[in-house]
Amino acid sequence: MSTIEEAPRATAGVLPAEKKPSGRPAPLRKRFVGSGEKPGFLTYGLLLAFLVSSAYPLWWSAVIGSRSNEALGETWPPLLPGGNFWTNVGEVFDTIPFWLALGNSVLISSIITLSVVGFSTLAGYAFAKLRFKGRNGLMLMVVATMAIPTQLGIIPLFMVMRTLGWTGEIGAVVVPTLVTAFGVFFMRQYLVDVIPDELIESARMDGANMISTFWHVAMPAAKPAMAILGLFTFMTAWTDFLWPLLVLDAGNPTLQTALSQLQSARYVDYSVVLAGAVLATLPLLVLFALAGKQLISGIMQGAVKG
């Protein structure tokens, strides 16, 4: 009895849907799209609850940031923004060099991103597609260094920067993160499947030298992964706090170190602090609206590959 029932089920996964031997399994197939039944109210209710908990702290900051300090004292938090946002923003501009900090952050994150993506693609391509002595050993080193918390080398790094006279300069923030082991690993994992060996061979047969093979064959194929790596490198550089705090001074900060000054002031006006937090988040919200999909697929791809 059970044998008869199970026979078509075992084949269902092997055969394409339209080639099913009998009509019987077809409705089964339909019922089990996704991991289970059609999601109901409970599912969407849960997702809505998560949405609220994701968004509420931001919304609350925008509400308080557009009112005055007294709004914090109200026993039930106000739900709608007030009219004070621009006054608070003006206060932010008076307290910290906001535009300079924003410019610095954009510059630092862009240079780091270009460098990490460029060098990672170059090295990742070599590890994925070129044959050379010591390749496996060197790749193992890359993987091993991924797990090393290099941030803990900040003291010698700080001494070096001071000796070079770079403290206070943008370069001191940029230089320590010009390459990452993760970037090389990520590009290697991507390129190893994406470029067929024959494509490289035929480019070589056509007389292309190594670098132009890289440029004309590998780079176009690597573009999607480069975009994802770039997005994440940019985010990491943008959010970095400890290192810029050490090597930059209050007069020439990044956006993160400047923001922290709002919080550290002797008299803290919380509506100004929160207005600053909201203001600093706005550019990333725009980026998120534009590139959110890529960010998601990047996270999900990284999970499968890594």
List binders of another protein among 236-295 (CB under 8 A).
Answer: 238-239, 241-242, 246, 255-256, 259-260, 262-264, 270, 273-274, 276-277, 280-281, 284-285, 287-288, 292-293, 295
Considering only 140, 148, 164, 250, the residue that binds another protein (CB under 8 A) is 148
Site string for another protein, 28-47 (x = CB under 8 A): x---xxxxx-xx---x--xx
| Closer CB to another protein, 196 or 210, in the complex | 210
The whole-angstrom separation of Cα 84 and Cα 141 is 54
Residue 225 binds another protein (CB under 8 A): no
Residue 149 binds another protein (CB under 8 A): yes
The letter for the amino acid at 96 is I
Contacts (Cβ under 8 Å, ≥6 apart) of 295:
231, 288
Contacts (Cβ under 8 Å, ≥6 apart) of 252:
97, 100, 104, 168, 169, 170
Q: Which of 284, 272, 277, 282 is nearest to 231 (CA)?
A: 284
* Two tokens, residue 185: 């690993």
Considering only 102, 107, 160, 199, the residue that binds another protein (CB under 8 A) is 160
Q: Which stretch binds another protein (CB under 8 A): 15-23, 57-65, 93-101, 194-202?
A: 57-65
Smallest distance, another protein to C-beta of residue 288, A: 5
Smallest distance, another protein to C-beta of residue 90, A: 18
Residue 202 binds another protein (CB under 8 A): no
The whole-angstrom separation of Cα 202 and Cα 208 is 9
Query: 269 in helix, strand or coil?
Result: coil
Query: Residue 301, Cβ neighbours under 10 Å: how many?
Result: 16
